């Protein structure tokens, strides 16, 4: 897809702006600050994918008016004209914004490139470029990450990977307790222990519960008494409040009774009465005014004069008045025409005397007979033209003969001056051979550079190979790469790595041994940790008090049985003893019984602690045994690891290599293969250089022989220049001789042919003279007159005939005008006599009479218009009088209706009755308001009963009872509040004493922690899976695209750094992964030629250029298998110096041959750099700012600013 035109119709600061683009090439779009560069970029994206929901480009045009259009072109040249508007649906329109266009039309051009893909891969701005450069530096130039990020158009890819690893580490660490998942696992175990240890005595809790319920019962009884007291208090208070209201109501009712019989006229009666009286007065005034106006109109009609007879002849009067101006113009024109006719006749007479001085009769009729007709005239003119052509041919023929004879003499003189010709074949062959091999010195230099690069590459690869050094030689892996000689490199290349299968087996054996030892150590550490925890738990149990065991109970029961047998035996045998001894034995027996019972009770009460201590002791013994076995396994694993490492070392030593860890030895086979290939390529290049040198020397020797050079002191360039000059002179002399010889032969033939042609022209001229004499004789002309004179005479005859014709026509026109003037004069005078009744004065002109008739007609018309207006005013005033009388009658009837409504006979009585009605109306409203307040006080009681109860109420007794009830309610409220506080404390103690509730809370918390564990575990698994998938995708992309992308990116990097770097190299990182390095050129400053520069050591600008080179290489790879798509860059050269900026612009211009490159910038010096350093056929400059009009090379920019 190509963008051929971008139409910024109404977006951002633009109105009707067009940017026309070429199908390929670099487009530099310049705009100063505030010119709308960012708006133009957003408009381009919006054209392809639609406006976003919110856009900052509506500061001049509202959302509904936002429009951007364009012309899109596919690979076959088919174009699509579209317009995009801001909206939710159907936003794609045709070029004229008149019809809907389906989105599939533009998606067919975009393919599978969506908005995110287009902005990421086909667009880049300075922040994204800088972020890509920082990724290179921070990531150490890891090749896989760099290729993947550039191919996907991503930035901060290294930060993404680090963020995934960091977030996973924050969730879980195998040997750490700080991450969230580790802490949650520990908390879950602690909660499980706390749930098991939560318990309480049942009897104590039951007593507390009964006491709590008693408090609740007391509170409920108190609350019931308080409610009854409040109800009585409320009723008494409402009755006491209603007493003054009932008294006021009775007073108002008595006042209303005094006004009994007064009608209720309503609040608007006075306004209605005043309105009716006002309408009656207005109707009376209107009627009087209409009567006066009607009388004035009648008087005006009586004094108006009659119009006269003029209106009946209005059409004739107007026609004559309009014709007056035309007739006056005719009268003014007649003297001039008469003078013209006289002048024309005199001129014609003089012309006839000049043309025919000998002719006796020069009348118009006689002269007309002498004029030739059309056929004769055409024959004469044709013969005159033939005479001119014939004379031109004769003159040209004579001139050509003289020129040919002069040229022939000159050519023969030049041939005599030329040197003799020589043989140029040998010199041309030798020179051709040298020219075919003219690039040999450059190729030799390239071969030497390539050989040096291969030698550097071989040294770099040798640095990776830990070959066993010979005596006195520095080990290759010590970092001293530059000291290795060719023989040392060849010796290192002869080292042989072990077979890959055997190396993999040995490496796997080492890894298995290391993994087994690591697992044993981890298991041993876990067992030690668990043993420490078990020991700690046993110590905590012992500190909480000794826990009896079953053996303790058995020993106590055995001691109790022994004492019982002794005591019962003495009792059965009747043995006598001192009373004190019996008492002592009895006490011992009772103490033994109590001790055994105590142990049994404790075993029942502390059964959990007993069983837990037994389990912990058993686990402690098991862990001791396991640790002893693990120590033996660890020693065995160490011996196995040492044996595997010895076998691994022996495997590499057999090939002459110093063994290292498997991770370090992994790239050695590839490095050995690369070293061997580099040395073989170097040998082939050396042979090729020697062959080219021999061929070049032989070609130069042959050229010296052919050019006659006897000495070999001249440089090859000077020798070639001399040979070329000699060959050019010989070839030029041969060409001149051949050309002059051919020209001489041709000119000889021209001279001979010209002599024959001259005789033929003479015969043609004699024949023409005979035809000419026959043609001019009928017109009375002499044959010896030249054609020019005859043509002049014919022209004069035509002029004379035209003058005679114009004179006849002019005389007829004068007669017609005179007749029109006479008809106008007679018509006006006849009409004036008929209308005025007497003939007009002969001294007055017809024009003056016509004007008088028109004026009289105008005055008659004004009188008629005045009469019609007065008649219309008379009718209008009569109508107004009738309307006023009707309105006055209606208003009087309305006033009488109001009197009947108020019950009075006279209108003067209405104000008094209105005042009494308003007072009665106010009393009724006050009574209704009091009754509403009383109903509200009665609440749910019947109003009549409430009224009777209020009348029967003793006010003083009620007031005393209210005070007493208020005090009692306050006391009960305080007591109720105290009970509530005591109930709250009791409930809290019950809750604290209820072990089941605490266990439930702990269990609930444990379930919540377990849910957190599941959530964190899922998140950890997702992060680990995402990191693994991303690493696999990066590695797969690197293997697929490393070859085609890195090579091309190296060339682009060389171009964009203006030769400071020769390309991109690949080395092995600290982790064994391939990393990117920059290979410096010979002019790279303090660095040695060919030395690699790590990505971490690059400057910000160089890292930006490296990232851009890989981005452009990925884009070129995409274009090899996909249709072109515009690549958009937004001021990406901010950190580039002028040299590298120009180099990058040239690189973009080269890429512009394959697809469009649209580069937006507000730096004018980039435009100047591009114009000075890029050919015009590959650079198109456009301007967004109206101040830059005329400076761009493309004139397809039309903008109207508002």
Question: pLDDT tens digit string along 9-19?
Answer: 888 888 888 88
Q: Lowest mean pLDDT: which of 184-198, 296-310, 570-584, 826-840?
A: 570-584
Please tell me the predicted confidence (pLDDT) of residue 200: 44
Backbone angles phi, psi at 711, to 5 degrees: -110, 155
In sequence order, which residues have a C-beta less than 8 Å from that of residue 145 and are 6 or more positions away? 135, 139, 157, 158, 161, 1034
Please tell me the predicted confidence (pLDDT) of residue 779: 64
Q: Does 330 fall in a domain?
A: yes
Q: Does 612 fall in a domain?
A: yes
| 632 shares a domain with 520 | yes
| 652 shares a domain with 540 | yes
Say if CB 1005 and CB 191 are below 8 A apart.
Answer: yes
Distance in angstroms (rounded) separating the CA atoms of residues 1019 and 942: 72
Q: What is the mean pLDDT of residues 882-887?
A: 88
Q: Is the pLDDT of residue 177 over 80?
A: no
Neighbour tally for 327: CB within 10 Å: 20
Q: Does 1096 fall in a domain?
A: no
Please tell me the predicted confidence (pLDDT) of residue 680: 85
| 821 shares a domain with 944 | no
| 654 shares a domain with 521 | yes
Distance in angstroms (rounded) separating the CA atoms of residues 140 and 143: 9
Q: pLDDT (tens digit, 9 = 90+) per residue, 13-48? A: 888 888 898 888 899 998 887 778 888 888 988 988
Q: Among 597, 623, 658, which residue terminates a domain?
A: 658
- Residue scoring higher pLDDT (564 or 1055): 1055
Domain range spanning residue 575? 507-658
| 646 shares a domain with 531 | yes
| 948 shares a domain with 828 | no
Please tell me the predicted confidence (pLDDT) of residue 1144: 93
| 594 shares a domain with 522 | yes
User: Helix 787-836 and helix 374-417: axis angle, to 10°?
Assistant: 140
Q: Is the dihedral of CA 1020, 1026, 1030, 1031 positive or negative?
A: positive
Q: What is the mean pLDDT of residues 187-198?
A: 70
- Residue 1136 C-beta-side C-alpha neighbours within 13 Å: 27
Residue percentage of the chain with pLDDT more than 90: 3
Please tell me the predicted confidence (pLDDT) of residue 415: 74
CATH number at residue 528: 1.10.287
Q: What is the mean pLDDT of residues 628-634?
A: 86
Q: Is the pLDDT of residue 1199 over 50?
A: no
766-772 — which CB contacts under 8 Å span 24+ positions? Answer: 768/383, 768/386, 768/387, 768/390, 771/383, 772/383, 772/387
Instruction: Band the pLDDT of 712: cuts 50, 70, 90.
Output: low
Q: pLDDT (tens digit, 9 = 90+) per residue, 829-882? A: 887 777 777 788 777 887 887 787 788 778 888 888 888 888 888 888 888 888
Say if CB 443 and CB 646 are below 8 A apart.
Answer: no
DSSP 289-306: HHHHHHHHHHHHHHHPPP
Say if CB 1073 and CB 144 are below 8 A apart.
Answer: yes
Instruction: Band the pLDDT of 228: cuts 50, 70, 90.
Output: confident
- Residue scoring higher pLDDT (985 or 421): 985
| 342 shares a domain with 228 | no
Q: Does 286 fall in a domain?
A: no
Q: Is the pLDDT of residue 602 over 90?
A: no
Q: Among 961, 976, 993, which residue terminates a domain?
A: 993
What is the residue-averaged pLDDT of the chain? 78
| 644 shares a domain with 517 | yes
Instruction: Band the pLDDT of 1082: cuts 50, 70, 90.
Output: low
Q: Is the pLDDT of residue 477 over 50?
A: no
Would you mind telling me the total number of residues written for the chain in this entry? 1202
Q: What is the mean pLDDT of residues 566-574?
A: 63
Using alpha carbons, select from 83, 77, 93, 74 the residue that is nearest to residue 18: 83
Instruction: Band the pLDDT of 582: cuts 50, 70, 90.
Output: low
**Structural domains of the chain, count:** 3
Distance in angstroms (rounded) separating the CA atoms of residues 856 and 842: 20
Distance in angstroms (rounded) separating the CA atoms of residues 181 and 190: 14
Q: Does 1107 fall in a domain?
A: no
Q: Does 594 fall in a domain?
A: yes
> Phi-psi region for residue 93, left (φ > 0), alpha (ψ -120 to 50) or beta?
beta
Q: What is the mean pLDDT of residues 768-779?
A: 74
In sequence order, which residues have a C-beta less than 8 Å from that of residue 341 and are 6 or more positions away? 807, 810, 811, 814
Most confident of 203-207, 216-220, 944-948, 1088-1092: 216-220
Q: Does 102 fall in a domain?
A: no
Q: pLDDT (tens digit, 9 = 90+) per residue, 1138-1188? A: 889 999 999 999 988 889 999 999 888 888 888 888 988 889 998 886 555
CA dist 667 to 659, 698, 1089, Å?
Answer: 13, 47, 25
Q: Is the pTM of this model over 0.85?
A: no
DSSP 811-851: HHHHHHHHHHHHHHHHHHHHHHHHHHSSPPPTTS-HHHHHH
Residue percentage of the chain with pLDDT more than 70: 83
| 924 shares a domain with 802 | no
Q: Among 978, 993, 1008, which residue terminates a domain?
A: 993
| 619 shares a domain with 552 | yes
Distance in angstroms (rounded) separating the CA atoms of residues 684 and 678: 10
Q: Does 919 fall in a domain?
A: yes
Q: pLDDT (tens digit, 9 = 90+) per residue, 367-395? A: 666 667 777 777 877 877 777 787 787 78
Please tell me the predicted confidence (pLDDT) of residue 1198: 34
Neighbour tally for 898: CB within 10 Å: 19
**DSSP 3-state of 1097:** helix
Q: What is the mean pLDDT of residues 54-75?
A: 86
| 516 shares a domain with 649 | yes
Distance in angstroms (rounded) separating the CA atoms of residues 897 and 1144: 104
Please tell me the predicted confidence (pLDDT) of residue 1126: 92
Angle at 309 between CA 303 and CA 315, to 5 degrees: 125
Q: What is the mean pLDDT of residues 949-955?
A: 78
Please tell me the predicted confidence (pLDDT) of residue 70: 93
Distance in angstroms (rounded) separating the CA atoms of residues 491 and 473: 12
- Residue 484 C-beta-side C-alpha neighbours within 13 Å: 28
Computed on alpha carbons and rounded to an integer, the radius of gyration of the chain in Å comes to: 64
Q: What is the mean pLDDT of residues 1015-1028?
A: 74
Please tell me the predicted confidence (pLDDT) of residue 146: 65
């Amino acid at each position: 897809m190509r963008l051929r035109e971008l139409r910024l119709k109404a977006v951002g600061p633009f109105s009707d702006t067009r940017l026309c683009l070429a199908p390929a090439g670099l487009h530099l779009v310049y705009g100063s600050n505030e010119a709308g560069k960012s708006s133009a970029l957003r408009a381009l994206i919006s054209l392809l994918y639609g406006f976003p929901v919110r856009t900052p480009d509506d500061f001049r045009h509202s959302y509904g008016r936002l429009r951007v259009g364009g012309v899109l072109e596919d690979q076959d040249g088919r174009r699509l004209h579209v317009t995009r508007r801001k909206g939710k649906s159907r936003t794609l329109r045709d070029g004229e914004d008149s019809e809907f266009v389906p989105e599939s039309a533009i998606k067919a051009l975009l393919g599978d490139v969506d908005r995110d893909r287009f902005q990421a891969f086909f667009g880049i701005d300075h922040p994204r470029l800088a972020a890509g450069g920082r990724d290179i530096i921070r990531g150490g130039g890891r090749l896989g990450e760099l290729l993947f990020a550039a191919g996907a158009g991503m930035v901060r890819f290294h930060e993404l990977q680090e963020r995934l690893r960091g977030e996973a580490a924050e969730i879980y660490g195998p040997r750490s307790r700080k991450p969230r998942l580790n802490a949650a696992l520990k908390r879950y175990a602690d909660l499980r222990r706390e749930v098991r240890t939560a318990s309480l005595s049942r009897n104590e809790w039951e007593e507390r519960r009964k006491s709590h319920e008693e408090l609740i019962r007391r509170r409920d009884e108190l609350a019931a008494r308080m409610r009854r007291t409040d109800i009585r208090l409320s009723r008494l208070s409402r009755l006491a409040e209603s007493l003054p209201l009932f008294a006021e109501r009775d007073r108002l009712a008595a006042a209303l009774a005094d006004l009994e019989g007064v009608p209720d006229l309503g609040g608007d009666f006075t306004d209605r009465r005043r309105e009716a009286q006002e309408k009656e007065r207005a109707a009376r005034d209107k009627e009087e005014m209409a009567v006066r106006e009607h009388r004035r109109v009648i008087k005006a009609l009586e004094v108006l004069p009659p119009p006269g007879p003029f209106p009946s002849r209005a059409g004739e009067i107007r026609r004559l008045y309009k014709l007056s101006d035309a007739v006056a113009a005719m009268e003014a024109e007649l003297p001039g025409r008469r003078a013209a006719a006289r002048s024309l006749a005199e001129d014609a007479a003089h012309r006839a005397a000049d043309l025919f001085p000998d002719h006796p009769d020069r009348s118009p009729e006689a002269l007309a007979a002498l004029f030739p007709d059309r056929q004769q005239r055409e024959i004469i003119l044709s013969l005159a033209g033939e005479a001119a052509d014939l004379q031109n041919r004769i003159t040209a023929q004579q001139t050509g003969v003289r020129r040919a004879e002069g040229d022939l003499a000159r050519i023969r003189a030049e041939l005599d001056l030329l040197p003799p010709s020589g043989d140029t074949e040998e010199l041309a062959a030798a020179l051709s051979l040298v020219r075919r091999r003219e690039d040999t010195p450059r190729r030799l230099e390239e071969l030497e550079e390539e050989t040096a690069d291969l030698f550097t590459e071989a040294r770099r690869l040798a640095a990776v190979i830990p070959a066993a050094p010979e005596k006195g030689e520095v080990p290759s892996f010590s970092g001293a790469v530059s000291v290795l000689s060719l023989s040392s490199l060849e010796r290192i290349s002869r080292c042989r790595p072990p077979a890959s299968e055997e190396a993999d087996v040995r490496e796997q054996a080492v890894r298995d041994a290391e993994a087994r030892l690591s697992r044993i150590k981890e298991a041993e550490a876990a067992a030690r940790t668990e043993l420490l925890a078990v020991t700690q738990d046993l110590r905590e149990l012992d500190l909480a008090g000794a826990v009896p065991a079953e053996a303790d109970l058995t020993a106590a029961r055995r001691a109790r049985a022994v004492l019982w047998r002794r005591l019962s035996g003495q009792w059965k045998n009747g043995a006598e003893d001192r009373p004190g001894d019996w008492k002592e034995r009895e006490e011992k027996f009772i103490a033994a019984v109590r001790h055994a019972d105590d142990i049994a009770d404790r075993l029942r009460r502390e059964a959990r602690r007993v069983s837990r201590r037994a389990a912990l002791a058993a686990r402690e013994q098991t862990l001791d045994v396991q640790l002893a076995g693990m120590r033996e396994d660890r020693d065995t694993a160490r011996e196995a690891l040492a044996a595997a490492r010895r076998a691994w070392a022996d495997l590499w030593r057999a090939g002459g290599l110093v063994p290292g860890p498997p991770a370090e030895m992994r790239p050695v086979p590839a490095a050995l293969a690369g070293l061997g290939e580099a040395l073989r390529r170097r040998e082939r290049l050396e042979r090729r250089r020697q062959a080219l040198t021999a061929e070049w020397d032989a070609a130069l020797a042959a050229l010296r022989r052919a050019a006659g050079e006897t000495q070999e002191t001249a440089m090859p360039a000077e020798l070639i220049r001399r040979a070329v000059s000699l060959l050019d002179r010989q070839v030029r002399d041969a060409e001149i001789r051949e050309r002059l010889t051919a020209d001489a032969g041709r000119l000889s033939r021209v001279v001979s042919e010209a002599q024959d042609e001259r005789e033929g022209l003479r015969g043609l001229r004699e024949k023409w003279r005979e035809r000419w004499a026959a043609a001019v004789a009928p017109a009375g002309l002499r044959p010896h007159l030249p054609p020019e004179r005859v043509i002049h005479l014919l022209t004069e005859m035509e002029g004379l005939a035209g003058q005679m014709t114009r004179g006849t026509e002019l005389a007829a026109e004068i007669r017609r005008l005179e007749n029109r003037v006479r008809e106008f004069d007679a018509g006006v005078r006849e009409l004036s006599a008929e209308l005025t009744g007497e003939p007009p004065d002969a001294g007055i002109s017809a024009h003056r009479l016509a004007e008088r008739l028109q004026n009289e007609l105008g005055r008659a018309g004004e009188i008629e218009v005045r009469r019609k207006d007065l008649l219309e005013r008379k009718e209008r005033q009569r109508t107004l009088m009738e309307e006023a009388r009707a309105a006055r009658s209606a208003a009087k009837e309305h006033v009488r209706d109001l009197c009947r409504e108020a019950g009075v006979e006279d209108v003067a009585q209405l104000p008094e009755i209105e005042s009494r009605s308003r007072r009665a109306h106010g009393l009724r409203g006050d009574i209704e308001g009091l009754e509403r307040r009383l109903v509200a006080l009665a609440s749910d009681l019947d109003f009549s009963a409430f009224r009777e109860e209020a009348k029967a109420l003793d006010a003083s007794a009620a007031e005393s009872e209210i005070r007493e009830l208020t005090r009692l309610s306050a006391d009960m409220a305080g007591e109720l509040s105290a009970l509530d506080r005591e109930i709250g404390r009791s409930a809290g103690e019950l809750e604290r004493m209820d072990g089941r509730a605490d266990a439930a809370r702990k269990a609930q918390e444990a379930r919540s922690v377990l849910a957190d564990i599941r959530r964190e575990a899922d998140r950890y698994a997702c992060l680990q899976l995402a990191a693994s998938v991303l690493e696999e995708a990066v590695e797969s992309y690197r293997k697929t695209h490393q070859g085609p992308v890195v090579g091309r990116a190296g060339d682009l990097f060389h171009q964009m750094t203006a030769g400071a770097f020769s390309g991109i190299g690949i080395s092995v990182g600290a982790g064994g992964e391939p990393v990117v390095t920059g290979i410096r050129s010979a002019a790279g400053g303090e660095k040695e030629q060919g030395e690699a520069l790590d990505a971490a050591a690059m400057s910000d600008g160089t890292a930006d250029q490296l990232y851009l080179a890989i981005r452009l290489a990925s884009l070129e790879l995409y274009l090899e298998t996909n249709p072109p798509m515009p690549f958009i860059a937004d001021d990406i050269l901010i950190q580039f110096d002028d040299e590298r900026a120009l180099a990058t612009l040239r690189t973009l211009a080269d890429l512009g041959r394959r697809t469009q490159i649209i580069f937006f910038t507000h730096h004018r010096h980039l435009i100047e750099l591009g114009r000075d350093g890029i050919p015009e056929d590959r650079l198109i400059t456009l301007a967004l700012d109206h101040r830059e009009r005329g400076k761009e090379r493309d004139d397809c920019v039309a903008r109207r600013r508002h």
